A = this chain, B = another copy of it.
């Protein structure tokens, strides 16, 4: 880490500042980071230009040699993101200087081919296509990690289908449930998020200066615009849009929503893990807890924390993309430019959170003993609903409820189990309700799980609705 030839931290140079993930432990080093960095966007822009050249050749708008010349130059040209970033200020986007450099690189080998670089296209064609390419490539890594996480939580659901724990509502013990059902719920959420993300159309963009494809049309006799659009989408490996979508931003808005949905689904898992990891609860622990700079004994739920942090950011970023739908004209002055960085950050937050969730779920240590202990913490109150149901035929609904409230109060005040307090308050129950106490009695939480197992089966076999 310390080295003579690395730049000194105390001399940040104004001409080459760069971010390398220092403030983003949630996605630093993740596949999504690599797939969304400046270099990846640069690569995708070059890929778009090369695909355009090949498509043009394929439909007869350019000589066959152009396809190869541009494709090769796009592969081999050495560009630095920083230089393009600084030059992007002139026109407001990085495609303009990129085209200049690519044209120069092609011209170095084939001056005629250079005339065809970017011909008929507009900056937005290339940048939108690049964003969709980056999204496509990042999506693969996100889906892979969502699948890893889904498999791991499905395994947890299977292993713990009979592991009884307290269900909690508004922070309080409610009734018994199983950890298996909780994990199965996570699974349904992950599957829904996965399905939505995978189903998204990711269209190529090509419309020319303002969406009419006019600059292509003039080249030949017949209108080649639509054929070019199809060929371009195929060459670049994206969906073919119905029409150019320069100012029809549903693809970006929907991508934002799907990513925020995925991050939110992961955030649900993290929220549960954070509660269950609390020192006083102790029902789960991350496989490799995080260290602390101050306290030697700590083992923090770091992955859940980082996922939770992502879940707090993603909705706001998605709202920016939804806001850019209201885009005036054939290219809006601001709404388009406002999408770039939020979309990239969303891709990263989703990729990082999916990675963390996969690791978290695969390594999660489950403490069934602690769950059992916690269940007992209220001395039987966890099954008060069940007792109310059982008492109702004997006492009527309101008298049953009053008796239970009295017994709950006595049990808490005297520190005795609820069944003892009930029998003390209503001795006749000893005869009338013989299955009240005892190992498999009404007060056994394991006997009050309803359809938990059946629901787990449904969840694991689920097709998302």
Interface size class of A (residues with CB under 8 A): 35 or more
Q: Which residues of B contact A28 (CB under 8 A)?
A: 85-86, 88-89
A:27-57 near B, CB below 8 Å: 28-29, 31, 33-34, 37-43, 46
Q: Which residues of B contact A337 (CB under 8 A)?
A: 25-26, 305-306, 308-309
Interface residue? A268 (CB, 8 A): yes
Count identical subunits in the complex. 4
Question: Which of A31, A99, A172, A397 has the largest number of chain B CB atoms within 10 A?
Answer: A172
Which of B31, B80, B215 is within 8 Å of A450, CB to CB? B215
Q: How far is the CA of A308 from the CA of B337 in the complex (A)?
A: 9
Q: How far is the CA of A209 from the CA of B452 in the complex (A)?
A: 13
A48 → chain B closest CB, angstroms: 13
Q: Which residues of B contact A78 (CB under 8 A)?
A: 2-4, 6-9
Which residue of B has the minimal Cβ distance to A201? B465
Q: Which residues of B contact A309 (CB under 8 A)?
A: 334-338
Q: What are the interface flags for A166-208 relative to B under an 8 Å C-beta threshold, 1 for contact and 0 otherwise?
A: 1111111111110001101100110011001000010100001
Can you list 30 contacts pairing A with B, beta carbon distance less than 8 Å? A8-B78, A9-B39, A9-B43, A9-B79, A14-B31, A28-B85, A29-B86, A29-B89, A89-B302, A91-B291, A115-B392, A115-B397, A122-B169, A169-B331, A175-B209, A175-B295, A176-B214, A177-B212, A203-B465, A211-B455, A215-B450, A218-B386, A223-B450, A248-B268, A265-B325, A271-B332, A279-B374, A280-B281, A296-B405, A305-B333
Q: What are the interface flags for A121-137 relative to B under an 8 Å C-beta threshold, 1 for contact and 0 otherwise?
A: 11100000000000000
Pick the 4 closest A-B CB pairs, nearest first.
Answer: A264-B325, A308-B334, A214-B450, A267-B326
Q: How far is the CA of A88 from the CA of B41 in the complex (A)?
A: 25
A125 → chain B closest CB, angstroms: 9
A51 → chain B closest CB, angstroms: 14
Q: Which residues of B contact A253 (CB under 8 A)?
A: 260-261, 264
Q: Which of A62-70, A143-151, A311-319, A424-432 contacts B (4 or more CB under 8 A)?
A: A311-319
Q: Which residues of B contact A189 (CB under 8 A)?
A: 248, 250, 325
A49 → chain B closest CB, angstroms: 11
Interface residue? A413 (CB, 8 A): no
Q: How far is the CA of A324 from the CA of B451 in the complex (A)?
A: 26
Q: Which residues of B contact A331 (CB under 8 A)?
A: 168-170, 174
State whether A325 touches B267 (Cβ < 8 A). Answer: yes
State whether B34 touches A12 (Cβ < 8 A). Answer: yes
Q: Which residues of B contact A345 (CB under 8 A)?
A: 341
Q: Which residues of B contact A265 (CB under 8 A)?
A: 250, 325
Which of B101, B181, B388, B452 is within 8 Å of A296, CB to CB? B388
State whether A215 touches B17 (Cβ < 8 A). Answer: no
